[in-house]
């Protein structure tokens, strides 16, 4: 089966100027002359955890597997270059599944100029696992890291938060173009993508920077899906709690010097919402000003993979 998949991929995968040698040999060869500094990132996604293949078209699972990696490149303000794809397929229906996964990935790769350089395909008696590794090119301003935030920086957020489980976690748009544009035109001190939850990922950025963070709850852009989820489940979890703690928004949180934040908000350079939701503090920990104007500590919560 692997041979026929390689044959199919050789026909199907688009050519790319970075690829000196693409799929089919023991390894691919890239031409990276113009990228003296690269970022590299990997993510593994599993059927039953990150998506449920019994409920969705496998192309959406393929697209998501690539999109989560692209979101990490966006978080670093790195331009997508090339990637490799490892598939661990269930034995039954493996070829068809692999082809559908790639059909989900290829349009997204083309949209962001990413070369799919190759990969590995195995099969077993377990569920599907997709692991993708991406390389990204760092621009002249350098990579956007988590550890550069300074007290007084404003916290800007793209998009809206909460309730992505209703569908957005599969079909979200990785904020690559937005991150590259903002990092090129403005001075950004730090950034992270919200994969595990707004409050949890913001606390990670603040902690890496040796700072704290204050959120203004009335400014948090709450997604319609967060409201819908709160209504559907009627378990007492509010839309705001969904916005603060749900995983997989894949939006960006940016720490930006105040005068620069003001400039960005006045310029409105993006076609998606960009909202100032708080600021970086010298006092450590995560804090919020609630709707009543009271300052209180906020427990960072979100999705965490558990293991011993
Ligand atoms: Mg990330």
Kindly report the number of other CB atoms within 10 A of residue 306's CB atom: 4
Residue 301 Cα to ligand 1 midpoint, Å, equals 16
R_g of the chain, CA atoms, integer Å: 20
DSSP state of 145: -
Q: How would residue 19 be classed by pLDDT, with cut points 50, 70 and 90?
A: very high
Residue 193 Cα to ligand 1 midpoint, Å, equals 5
287: left (phi over 0), alpha (psi -120 to 50) or beta: beta
Report whether pLDDT(177) > 90.
Answer: yes
Q: What are 84-111's pLDDT values in tens digits?
A: 999 999 999 999 999 999 999 999 999 9
Residue 277 Cα to ligand 1 midpoint, Å, equals 19
Alpha-carbon distance of 167 to 250, in angstroms, equals: 13
The two three-digit tokens of residue 296, written as one number: 């209180």
Residue 267, class by beta-carbon neighbours within 10 Å (0-12 exposed, 13-18 middle, 19+ buried)? exposed
pLDDT of 308: 74
Residue 133 Cα to ligand 1 midpoint, Å, equals 13
Report whether pLDDT(2) > 90.
Answer: no
DSSP string across 150-204:
-TTPEEEEES-BS-GGGTHHHH----HHHHHHHHHHS---EEEE-SS-HHHHHHH
Query: 116 forms bridges with which residues in the sheet?
Result: 83
Rounded to an integer, the average pLDDT of 188-206 is 98
Alpha-carbon distance of 41 to 196, in angstroms, equals: 16
Residue 192 Cα to ligand 1 midpoint, Å, equals 6
Report whether pLDDT(260) > 90.
Answer: yes
Residue 10 Cα to ligand 1 midpoint, Å, equals 31
Report whether pLDDT(277) > 90.
Answer: yes
Residue 53 Cα to ligand 1 midpoint, Å, equals 24
Report whether pLDDT(148) > 90.
Answer: yes
Provide CB contacts within 8 A for 272, sequence distance 6+.
158, 159, 175, 178
């Amino acid at each position: 089966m692997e041979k026929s998949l390689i044959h199919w991929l050789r026909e199907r995968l688009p050519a790319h100027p970075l690829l000196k040698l693409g799929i089919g040999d023991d390894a691919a060869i890239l031409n990276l002359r113009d990228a003296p500094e690269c970022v590299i990132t990997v993510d593994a996604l599993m059927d039953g955890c990150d998506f449920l293949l019994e409920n969705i078209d496998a192309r959406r699972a393929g697209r998501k597997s690539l999109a989560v990696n692209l979101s990490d490149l966006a978080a670093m303000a790195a331009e997508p270059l090339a990637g490799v794809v490892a598939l661990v397929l269930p034995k039954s229906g493996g070829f068809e599944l692999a082809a559908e996964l790639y059909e989900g990935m290829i349009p997204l790769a083309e949209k962001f100029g990413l070369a799919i350089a190759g990969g590995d395909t195995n099969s077993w008696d377990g569920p599907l696992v997709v692991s993708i590794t991406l390389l990204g090119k760092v621009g002249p301003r350098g990579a956007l890291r988590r550890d550069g935030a300074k007290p007084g920086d404003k916290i800007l957020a793209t998009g809206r938060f909460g309730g992505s489980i209703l569908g957005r976690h599969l079909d979200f748009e990785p904020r690559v173009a937005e991150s590259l544009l903002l990092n090129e035109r403005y001075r950004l001190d730090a950034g992270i993508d919200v994969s595990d939850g707004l409050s949890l990922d913001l606390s990670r950025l603040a902690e890496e920077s040796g700072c704290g963070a204050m959120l203004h709850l009335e400014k948090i852009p709450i997604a319609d899906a967060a409201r819908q989820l709160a209504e559907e489940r009627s378990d007492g979890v509010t839309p705001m709690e969904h916005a603060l703690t749900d995983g997989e928004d894949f939006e960006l949180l940016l720490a930006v010097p105040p005068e620069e934040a003001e400039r960005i908000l006045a310029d409105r350079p993006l076609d998606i919402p960009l909202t100032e939701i708080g600021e970086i503090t010298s006092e450590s920990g995560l804090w919020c000003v609630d709707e009543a104007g009271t300052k209180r500590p906020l427990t960072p919560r979100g999705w965490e993979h558990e293991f011993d």
